[in-house]
Structure 1
Amino acid sequence: MSPEVWVALALGLVLGAGATAVAGYFRRREVLQETTLVPHRTRQLMAALQAGAVVIRRDRRSAFSNQAATALGVSRPDGALNTELADLAEEAWRREETIESEIAVQRGVLHTPRFVHARVTPIDDELCLALVNDNTESRAAEQSRREFAVNVSHELKTPIGALSLLAETIEEAYEDPEVVRKFAKKMRKEARRLTKLIQEIIEITRLQSGGSVVDQELLHLDGVVHEAVEAAKVAADAKEIRLVTDLKARPDVYGDRDLLVMALRNLVDNAVQYSDAGTPVTISLDARDGIASVSVIDRGIGIGDKDQERIFERFYRADPARARDTGGTGLGLSIVKHIALQHSGSVAVWSEPGVGSTFTFKLAVHQEAS
């Protein structure tokens, strides 16, 4: 190689080494600065916090953030900050006081928002401390409570309004015994529906307020099935619907007998209500691979795919008009779902409009210790 090439190569090596050295110097300086800003003992204390904790610098980056803050998505290990959190820090410096607010953090490929409560306090002119907590679940719970209150108010208005109108009609036609009897019968029907609605509201509120079932006992599941079928027999006989019990197994499970009977009876009652007169409803019990399954099979009107996704929601009715005719409250399947969850079980549906429906309630089989 010519002397000029050797000189150019040597110069390139010198410049490259110099650039690397300069970059390393600034990185060590940055690390040293961060370590100076947030001492080791402080980092240890922040790392132990359950809440997310971030020390924010004036340049809108973090001097340190614990693992909880990283998991919430408000900061990254490289010092990058959520924009809204950085804005809160600037506002806290401007006001020279603590700022609290809720920020939305977009995470994942679907950019599903999580709602984070942030409390930002200025430490000095260069640093702020932010404490963050995930509010997504509590926000959803609060929304659910509001919707529940609105739905309850709406559902109670219907039978109460009907009773009021019927009472006025009877009052005006008190001299006509036939009219009085006719509307008194309708009043009894609305009163029964109101009573059922109130009972189910109380029941689902109780179920939602608890975790797992406390009063559990060892149960023969076939006995629970028989009790639920017997309880539904009067309604079935009134529609000339034959209840067929098919016991392929007799598994034992742990659970609350009254709640399990209620869940299975709700499934059988639904099958009876939405089946045509003279058709059978089959209640099948089986157990495989440690799982007990109770299936309630009808040949009724069936449920469309769109409705199948929502039928376990509170107050949801696939056919509101027919539900009111049959006295349905829209809470029965929601109660079934919550009872299943409280027993660490599940409930699922298969249905085809015009063919029928199959609801399957699953529980873990009790295994004797060896």
Structure 2
Amino acid sequence: MFFNSRAVAFLLALSTAFITVSFLSLLEGIPSTAYVVTGCIAFSSTFILSYFTLEFMIFRELNKIYNKVDGLKNNPIFSNEPLMKQNEVQERILQKEKVNPLKMINQEISDFASKTEQEIDKLKKMESFRREFMANVSHELKTPIFATQGYILTLLDGAMDDEKVRQKFLKKAAKSLSQLNHLVEDLLTLSKIESGQIKMDFEVFDIQDLMVDAYEQLEHKASKKDITIHLDLPDNESLEVNADYNRLMQVMLNLVTNAIKYNHEGHNVTIQLKEKEDRVKVSIIDDGMGIPEEDQGRIFERFYRVEKSRTKKQGGSGLGLAIVKHILSEHNSYMSLTSKLGEGSTFSFELEKHREE
């Protein structure tokens, strides 16, 4: 049923005319013409009065309120949804005529209030994340800057005259500046990936070649810590994937480097590749320190560190795994983690095989 001023006025006028004629019929000697005239006058006057009263004093004001609420609800400032298309707007207008306006406005206000509450919660979380991020960045930048400043001031205070001390402090200052440069580069890389400025350069290549390249680059680094890297590859001649070779190499180097860092001397790291039906699974397995269960859900957050003092000693910007997470996301993949404290960790991700069209 249509709920608008015209329909309501018509029903009121019809009811009034019927009641008036009904009362008139109780009197005797009234000609039939009088019934018709009385009914028409009652209907017309009631319809005109009701229509203008409802239209200009109630329905138009209700529609103004509805349009304001509807406009706010569909405003991109308050909603992540795109603005409605023209056909959707027309459909909403038709629906307005069929629904009780008071019920419609109540529903719109309830929906708007619910969305606004969700937006406020989201803004609060973003504000909390921003404060935490700024505190972490400030802390991470402060450490190498203060260290470098301390070494240089010590040299300026007279230690420069001693050649051995000078060389030692200059090397330490250079190392701190290198850490600072690495941190800034990781921040820029992460920011560009998240904002879409860095696009993945997809190409078809053999994933086994990438595993071998990562192994060869880090074998010497592992040997310095008396750690052995094992390659566990399938017997296939070729396992092609369509991916960004350099970005996946960045993922592999980060994961294998972490496996070496947080492992014990004399232990092992395995780079494993398994073939599935239409996918390949890459795993980095170590038998080192492991990760506490309470930290596993946050290990891919920016600057999150497990046992911060130990991690600081090992070095790193604290952004490596966050970058890994975003690179894999661009490849429609994700990182899975299995770890047990004191027994080791396994980081795994999967990629789709390349299929010839």
**Which interval holds the TM-score relative to the shorter structure?**
0.5 to 0.7
Alignment pair present for 1:237 and 2:264: no
Match of 2:25 in 1: none
Identity among equivalent pairs (%)? 34
Cross-structure match for 2:118? 114
How much has 1:273 moved relative to structure 2? Answer: 0.4
Instruction: For 1:144 and 1:211, locate their aligned partners in 2 and report how far apart those are by CA, in whole Å.
Output: 22
Question: Any conservation in 2 of the 1:213–1:255 contact (CA below 8 Å)?
Answer: no
Question: What is the alpha-carbon distance in structure 1 between the residues aligned to residue 334 and residue 263 of structure 2?
Answer: 24
Q: 1:227 to 1:350 in 2, by over 3 A?
A: same
Higher strand content, 1 or 2 = 1
The partner residue of 1:228 within 185, 195, 214 is: 214
User: Cα–Cα, structure 1 residues 148 and 271, in superposed 2: closer, same or farther, change >3 Å?
Assistant: same
1:255 equivalenced with 2:255 (yes/no): no
How many residue pairs end up in the alignment?
275
- Listed one character per residue, the Cα deviations across residues 230-286 of structure 1 (whole Å, up to 9, x for unaligned) are 222332122121111111254221111111100111000000000112211000011
Matches within 5 A, 1:208-357: 208-210=194-196, 213-248=199-234, 250-357=238-345
Change (3 A) 1:324 1:76: farther
8 Å contact 1:315–1:329 — kept in the other structure?
Answer: yes
Aligned to 1:163: 148
Distance, in Å, in 2 between the alignment partners of 1:251 and 1:329 is 33
Counterparts of residues 1-370 of structure 1 (less than 5 Å): 51=75, 79-80=106-107, 82=109, 105=115, 114-115=118-119, 136=122, 144=129, 147-171=132-156, 172-210=158-196, 213-248=199-234, 250-369=238-357
Measured in 2, the distance between the counterparts of 1:164 and 1:104 equals 52
Structure number with greater CO (CA < 8 Å, separation at least 6) is: 2
SS at match of 2:161: coil
TM-score (norm 2): 0.67
**Given the superposition, is the C-alpha separation of residues 278 and 76 from structure 1 closer, same or farther in structure 2, using an over 3 Å criterion?**
farther
SS in 1 for 2:305: coil
- Larger relative helix fraction: 2
Deviation (angstroms), 1:356: 0.4
Unmatched runs of 5 consecutive residues or more in structure 1: 1-28, 54-63, 67-74, 86-102, 107-112, 117-134
The amino acid that maps onto 1:288 is K
Deviates more, 1:225-234 or 1:312-321: 225-234
Amino acid at match of 2:297: E
Structure 2, unaligned stretches of length 5 or more? 1-50, 79-90, 94-101
Bigger Rg, structure 1 or 2? 2
